Amino acid sequence: MDDFVIKRNTPVARLIKDFRNKRSRKVIESRKEIQRRFAYLDWRDQKKILTVFLDSCKTDWQWACGKLLYYWDDSFLPKVQSLWEFTHDIKCSWTVIRHLPLDYIVDHLKELSVGRNYYFICKRFASEGKTIPVDKARFSSHLDYLTALWLMEQPITEEEATDTLYGLIRTICIDSITTLRQESIPYHPRYLVPGALSFNQVTDAINILMHMEQFRVVDLFLEWNDAICEAITHSPYYAAIRDGHLDKEERLTIARRFCYNALPAKYKTSSPANFEDLLLPQVTYCIAPIDPTILEDPVDKETYEEFKNECPSLEHLIDELDLPPFPAINDSPDPPPF
How is 37-91 classified by DSSP, letter by letter?
HGGGS-HHHHHHHHHHHHTS-HHHHHHHHHHHTTS--GGGHHHHHHHHHHH--HH
Q: Which amino acid is at 1?
A: M
Q: pLDDT at position 325, please?
A: 52
pLDDT at 254: 87
Decide if pLDDT at 320 tops 70.
no
Q: Would you say residue 42 has pLDDT above 80?
A: yes
What pLDDT score does 281 carry?
Answer: 40
Contact 84, 92 (CB under 8 A): yes
Q: What is the pLDDT of residue 313?
A: 61
Between these two residues, 271 and 160, which has the higher pLDDT value?
A: 160
Which long-range CB contacts under 8 A does 294-298 form with residues at least 24 apart?
A: 298/327, 298/328
Look at residue 75 and tell me whether its pLDDT is greater than 80. yes
Residue 301's pLDDT is what?
61
With 80 as the cut, is the pLDDT of residue 161 above it? Answer: yes
* Span 17-33, average pLDDT: 90
State the pLDDT confidence band at 25, using cuts at 50, 70 and 90.
Answer: confident
Mean pLDDT over the full length of the chain: 81
**Residue 318 pLDDT class (50, 70, 90 cuts):** low
Check pLDDT > 90 for residue 187: no
Residue 7: CB atoms within 10 A of its CB come to: 5
Average pLDDT over residues 161-176: 89
Q: How confident is the model at residue 177 (pLDDT cuts 50, 70, 90)?
A: low
**Cβ atoms of 279 and 257 closer than 8 Å:** yes
Band of residue 283 on the pLDDT scale cut at 50, 70, 90? very low
User: What would the mean pLDDT of 203-223 be, rounded to a whole number?
Assistant: 95
Contact by Cβ (8 Å): 176, 182? no
Averaged pLDDT, 149-165: 95
Which of 159, 140, 169, 151 lies closest to 211, judged by CA? 151
User: Between these two residues, 329 and 55, which has the higher pLDDT value?
Assistant: 55
Peptide bond into 324 cis (omega under 30): no
pLDDT score of 103: 95
pLDDT at 293 over 50: no
253 falls in which pLDDT band (50, 70, 90)? confident
